[in-house]
């Protein structure tokens, strides 16, 4: 990307900064309830808790940092039966 393209991109982003947001709530005109993911189960479905897979210690730290970052930014949230 050359200098002229960078300047055009920066100008475009500044002109449309209200369309960008860090979390869904920051984006005007989009109701977060519309874009949230929900899993609809059948009426007779029973919850199933599968086996927990194990990660190596290095990858565990990476995943933990990423999950904490997502929690801090409101991308994910704890549920009532989480520990």
pLDDT of 79 reads: 76
pLDDT in tens, 20-72: 666 656 666 666 666 677 777 788 878 777 888 888 989 999 999 999 998 88
Predicted TM-score (pTM) of this structure = 0.36
Cα(81)–Cα(27) distance, integer angstroms: 30
**What are residue 74's phi and psi, to 5 degrees?**
75, 15
pLDDT of 66 reads: 92
Cα(62)–Cα(74) distance, integer angstroms: 19
């Amino acid at each position: 990307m050359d200098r002229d393209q960078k300047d055009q991109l920066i100008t475009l982003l500044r002109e449309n900064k209200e369309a960008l947001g860090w979390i869904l709530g920051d984006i005007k005109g989009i109701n977060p309830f519309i874009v949230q993911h929900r899993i609809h189960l059948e009426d007779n479905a029973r919850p199933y808790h599968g086996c927990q897979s194990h990660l190596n210690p290095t990858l565990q730290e990476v995943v933990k940092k990423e999950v904490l970052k997502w929690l801090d930014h409101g991308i994910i949230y704890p549920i009532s039966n989480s520990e």
